[in-house]
Amino acid sequence: MIIIKTPREIELMRQAGEVVGEVFLIIKPYIKSGISTLKLSKIIEKYIRSRGGYPTFKGYGGFPEACCISVNDMVIHGIPNEKTILKDGDIVKIDVGVTKNGYVGDACRTFEVGEVTPEAKRLIEVTKESFFEGVKLIKPGVHLGDIQARIQEVIESNGYSVVRDYTGHGVGQVLHEDPYIPNYGKKGTGIILKEGMTLAIEPMVIQGKKDVYVLSDDWGVKTVDHSLAAHYENSLVVTKTGYELLTISKEELNGEG
């Protein structure tokens, strides 16, 4: 069942989302060669708690850390640890959930570590572009499949692959609500969007083949061919005339973050 949020609930989701957006600003200066993914997670958790939130992912389904940090060919769900040390040329996906006042904000960014290759930079840019190209179609009365199809079109027209096994989703009082939102689809299909729906749209894009596998820790998801992967996500609400992003700071929107 898709839950339509009240104005009060949307405001509470804004507050949770604001903290998520701030996390990406405060963590960016720390993303340098020599730091462990565990250290980044601890910094993020401390900040979330300082803002009156709780790291949604911690304990979710048994996940042990405050956020997912996935490096290079790790697509999603990487568990932060002491042994994974960032180095120049890496790309690192930081996926963050914040629960505050009973509501969740969920978002992800892919960061560059030092100087990355032009190919890696382009992958990151296309992943972000596919998100914004898709969501700009969002407004009441539009089929969700239209958004999915546009995301797929941008990804595949640039020679990349769409992750098929993992999707976006509704978000609200819990991290995962209906509907599930694949990053591929057909125009004119799927649910019809309504004002007050809250969605987490999250293109996951692979440089090579679409095939992935799950690590023995039952969390980390890697590309089978070891090609790079990028991930970009925001939580948003469908408004009367379009949409509002809930998990992106003004600084980031203005290119300052």
**Percentage of the residues of the chain whose pLDDT score is greater than 90:** 98
Q: Which residue has the tokens 């570590």?
A: 113
Closest CA to 160 of 75, 219, 92: 75
230, β-bridge pairs: 205
Would you say residue 52 has pLDDT above 90?
Answer: yes
Q: Which residue has the tokens 């720390």?
A: 30
Q: What is the pTM of this model?
A: 0.97
Helices (H) and strands (E) in the chain, counts: 5, 15
Q: What pLDDT does residue 254 have?
A: 85
Token pair listed for 106: 């969920």
Q: What pLDDT does residue 182 have?
A: 98
Residue type, 109: R
Q: What pLDDT does residue 256 have?
A: 74
Q: What pLDDT does residue 257 have?
A: 66
Bridge pairing between strands 204-206 and 67-71: unpaired
243, β-bridge pairs: 238
Listed by start position, the domains of the chain span 7-247
Token pair listed for 107: 């978002």
Other CB atoms within a 10 A radius of the CB of residue 69 amount to 29
Which of the following CATH numbers is that of domain 7-247: 3.30.300.30, 3.30.390.50, 1.10.3720.10, 3.90.230.10?
A: 3.90.230.10
Give the integer Cα–Cα distance in Å for 121 and 22: 23
Would you say residue 236 has pLDDT above 80?
Answer: yes
Q: What pLDDT does residue 253 have?
A: 86
Residues 137-146: tens digit of each pLDDT: 999 999 999 9
- Average pLDDT score over residue span 73-87: 98
- Average pLDDT score over residue span 104-119: 98
Mean pLDDT across the chain, nearest whole number?
97
Residues 143-200: tens digit of each pLDDT: 999 999 999 999 999 999 999 999 999 999 999 999 999 999 999 999 999 999 999 9
